[in-house]
Structures are given as structure tokens and as C-alpha cells.
Amino acid sequence: MTDAKVVEERLWTGGCLCGGVRYVIDTHPEPISFCHCSQCRRQHSHVGAYTGLPRAALRLLNDVTLTWYASSDRARRGFCARCGAGLFWESLDQSGADNGPRITVTAGSLDDASRLRVERHIFVDHKGAYYDIGDDGVERRASTGETVE
């Protein structure tokens, strides 16, 4: 093999704390982004850790307690109505999405996220005043999408 970056083929499973929502992903999820926006901080009691993938790669095995909340005019969040676990973030307007609709899954809801790594911090200009983002060597982006130091 000449490609130094080999992606292992496997199924990725996950779900909420109580088991009311279970899912399987049939593609390797993208690297994790830590989101520092105020909505993620409220949803997760701190930053949100998300991994993206094509919507078609996500299959719900059990969605009896899955509830969707339109958290803004541009996105909705999926969570378990029984245990409160945050599970998904999905853009409401996916008309410009390359390669079809996309969804992000909370990294903490994966049964085993050990093969994923953090790639970037996003919305760093909206981070909470109660913490600092340490010097972790990970890219940082503002809400405008531009890279910041």
C-alpha cells in the first residue's frame, strides 16, 4: 500500500444513555470538531464534540425516544427524550451540500470512538468566559470559518 492513511472498514455503533436510541454508521466518521458556540455549551453543559458523515451512512436501529428540536432557523438537534443525551446536529438547509445531505453525531454517543481524533475547535470566538482553550496544537476557527491563532 502506498497510501500512508489507511481507513479501517467497520461498522460504528452508538446511542443514548438509556438505550432508547441506537444507531449504526457504515462509513468512517470524520475527525472530531469541538464546538464552542453557546448552543452547544447549553446542550452539553460545555463544548460539543461532533463527527460528521453523510446522512445516508447513518441508520437508526431504535428511535423510540428520539426527539428533534429546531434550535435555530438553520439547524436541528436530535436527543433522547428519556435520558436527555444529545446525539445529532443537522443543518435544515442542505441544498448546497456536496455529495448529498450530511449529519453530525456526538462523539460521546459512539460506543467506541478510540480511532477518531480531534481536528479542530470551531466557534472559538463564542467560547465561554469560564474556560481557556489550551495550547493543544489543534486548528481553531472563528464563527466566520476563518482560522485564528
How many CB atoms are located within 10 Å of the residue 66 CB? Answer: 20
Q: What are the residues facing 49 on neighbouring strands?
A: 34
Tens place of pLDDT per residue across the chain (149 aa): 444 455 556 899 999 999 999 999 999 999 999 999 999 999 889 999 999 999 999 999 999 999 999 999 989 999 999 999 999 999 988 776 677 899 999 999 999 999 999 999 999 999 999 999 999 999 999 999 999 98
According to DSSP, residue 110 is labeled B
User: Going by CATH, does the domain composed of 12-148 fall within 3.40.50.620?
Assistant: no
For the chain, the structural domain boundaries read 12-148
Place of cell 452508538: 14
Predicted pLDDT at 105 = 98
Predicted pLDDT at 149 = 82
